[in-house]
Chain A
Amino acid sequence: MIKDQDQKIVSLDALREGDRPEFAKLVEEYSPMIYRLGLKMLNNPQDAEDILQETFIKAYKHIGKFDGRSSISTWLYRIATNEALMSLRKKRPDMISFDVPSINESEPQEPMQIVDWCCLPEEEFLSSEGRLRLDEAAERLPESLRIVFVLRDIEGLSTRETADVLDISEMAVKTRLSRARLRLREDLSTYFGKLVEKG
């Protein structure tokens, strides 16, 4: 899990003054988390690279307006999230608005797959097939659930930080995270459960 970075890594004053070496430090420090977010949201390396570039181009352009109320990583996550959601909308113009959970998303879900697959050997999970199933399951999540899962469980942001990035309530973060986790569990149980049954 990747924790929020220490704000002291880069000098905000230097960044605001347009200090190039300081901006290079910012890019070096924070590009892994932005690239990972792009990859997990779009599931495509080229799209992740585009989001990475656009995020830092926008950050450079708007650093003067950054008021420092949130951490710089939260601010960068916000830019990257907007880029990722815009990219998804371009690919799928019929996408449901991020702010309004779909009917399915707000419905309570009950587990249907009850197979204990935790006992499988670790290599089954980390095989190329296992990894592919993980990516596919994440891609099947509605975007509004996927981004919450990525920020909370992959990037390790707190509920408060996630709410700040997405400009939604903490309760909405908790609800969406719970839905996302249950859906992923259900989806993975279909695949890994079959492996258990095969023996």
Chain B
Amino acid sequence: MHKHEDCRKLLDSLSGYHDGEIPQELCDEIEQHMKDCDNCRIVVDTLGKTISLYQTTSEEITVPDDVRQRLFHRLDLDEFLNL
């Protein structure tokens, strides 16, 4: 796939394509290209999955209670801990 000009173009625009930040014309061109190029479709799909995996696992992160307590203590805000 690497020598193919359309594949190269897709690669350059891939991130913008994922974010919906490229012109509609280029977007249509990429979608048309992916119909005929399995490798590019795989790269687009796995890139999207990569981003969504990081987002899903990061949403679960919260500040642990003991970390929150030490933070409030360090900032001399203990009296507001239970508000």
Contact = CB atoms under 8 A, between A and B. Distances in A.
Contacts of B18: 181
B65 to A, nearest CB: 12
A32 B49 contact: no
A41 interface: no
A185 B47 contact: yes
B15 A181 contact: yes
Contacts of B77: 20, 23-24, 27
Interface in B5-24: 11-12, 14-16, 18, 21
Contacts, number: 112
Contacts of A131: 57
A18 to B, nearest CB: 12
A182 to B, nearest CB: 7
B67 A35 contact: yes
A53 B63 CA distance: 12
Contacts of B50: 181, 184-185, 188
A28 to B, nearest CB: 8
A168 interface: no
A32 B47 CA distance: 26
B35 interface: no
Interface size class of A (residues with CB under 8 A): 35 or more
Interface in B47-83: 47, 49-51, 53-59, 61-64, 67-68, 70-72, 74-75, 77, 80, 83
A52 B66 CA distance: 13
Contacts of A110: 2, 11
Secondary structure class of chain A's binding surface, majority of residues: helix
A153 to B, nearest CB: 5
B46 A182 contact: no
A57 B75 contact: yes
A35 B65 CA distance: 12
Given A24-B72, A56-B75, A153-B55, A178 B46 contact: no
Closest 7 pairs (CB-CB, A-B): A24-B80, A178-B15, A185-B50, A116-B42, A154-B58, A36-B61, A185-B47
Interface of A: 1-2, 20-21, 23-24, 27-28, 31-32, 35-36, 39-40, 45, 49, 52-53, 56-57, 60, 108, 110-111, 114-118, 125-126, 131, 134, 138, 149, 153-154, 159, 174, 177-178, 181-182, 184-185, 188-189
